Amino acid sequence: MRIISWNVNGIRAVEKKGFTSWLAKENPDILCLNETKAEPGQLSPELLNPESYYSFWASAKKKGYSGVAIYTKEQPQDVNFFKKEEFDNEGRVLVAHYKDFSLISAYFPNSQDEGKRLDYKLSFCDSMLKLCNSLVKKGKHFLLCGDFNIAHKPIDLAHPKANEKNAGYLPQEREWMDKFTAAGHVDTFRHFHPEEKGCYTWWSYMGQARTKNVGWRIDYHCVDKGFLPGVKSSIIRAEVTGSDHCPVEINFNL
């Protein structure tokens, strides 16, 4: 099974850059989208119902903001929102339950300048950890994927020292990632590439950051440790353009 997650920074914007052709060519079993910035009623038929896929959408109440989606070839047993109003109002989570695992497609909040939304961000993070822990406690495997808006370690961004007081690399955010992995959950990319430098998933549009590869790794595929033996590979698809993020891909033996 091949699963791709991508922060598209606007599904309608990326449609104009060849998204539907890319999807047909890539043909993943599941595609999770973050920051769709749209409601289903605003989408073309090609986006709403791509050939061979079921689609599910969580949209923010605020127009043109946030939002996640799942395209899946196999119909899930169940799909639900997170059922927490403060997060569902921003369209941040979809949970799809399959026979072998539960898929959590999540768009983590940005803590913003001077940590203006840090409390909200950490509340969301803790809720994600509780969800993952509850699934494991029930004997289920999970895959949590999406834009976490957190670079975990110094290796995960080009200029760690200069960004220690900036959103996405605040001590409290990195401490939560420590807590998440200490709970037995695995950042699959770092499992396969523990020391590889220069591996980023987001680049600013300013200063030719992508061309110079001055970026941050903030998009993840994370699993419970019991699910890890089934993971074949975890890959950053930096060659794919169309957004300020690139897709990340995970492959399973299921």
Catalytic residue set: 147
User: Is 97 in contact with 78 (CB distance < 8 Å)?
Assistant: yes
| Residue linked to tokens 């074949």 | 232
**What kind and span of H or E run contains 178?**
helix 171-182
Whether the CB-CB separation of 147 and 245 falls below 8 Å is answered with yes
Is residue 253 within a helix (H) or strand (E), and if so which, with residue range? none
Find all residues with CB under 8 Å of 141, minimum gap 6, and list them.
Answer: 100, 101, 102, 135, 223, 224, 226, 227, 230
Work out the number of other CB atoms within 10 angstroms of the CB of residue 209. Answer: 17
Q: Are 185 and 227 in contact (CB under 8 A)?
A: no
**Which residues are CB-contacts of 177 (< 8 A; sequence separation ≥ 6)?**
148, 150, 152, 187
Instruction: Give exposure, 96-129, as e/b (b: 16+ Cβ within 10 Å).
Output: bebeebbbbbbbbbbbeeebebbebbbebbebbb
Beta-bridged to residue 215, according to DSSP, are 203
